[in-house]
Amino acid sequence: MKQQCPNCKEFEYEEGYSTRKTGCLVMIVLPLIIGGGSMYGGWRQSTVGYLTTASIIIGIIIVLKSFIKPDKTIQWSCNKCKFSQEHKL
C-alpha cells in the first residue's frame, strides 16, 4: 500500500516487512530457492530435503509467533528521499 511521504509529498512511501510477511517468505519462497539452487550446487537429495524441511518449520514458527505476539510498530520508508518513520499499530 503506497501512502504519501510527509517529507517529499510523493507517493513512494511504503511499509517494510512485518513478522508475518517474513515468516511467509521463509516458509514459501526459501524452499523454492533451495530446490532451484540445488540443481547447480551439486547437493545430495537428503541435504536438500533437510534444508527445505528446516526452512518450512522455521517459517511456521515465525508465523505462529506473529499470531501469538503481534507487531506493535511498523517501519515505513520513502523510496525517493529515504525518509523513514516508525508507526504504531
The pLDDT score that the predictor gives to residue 12 is 61
The pLDDT score that the predictor gives to residue 55 is 94
Name the stretches of the chain with pLDDT < 70: 1-3, 11-16, 87, 89
The pLDDT score that the predictor gives to residue 14 is 63
DSSP assignment, residue 11?
S
pTM over 0.85: no
Side chain identity at 87, as an amino acid letter?
A: H
User: Which residues are bridge partners to 76 per DSSP?
Assistant: 15, 85
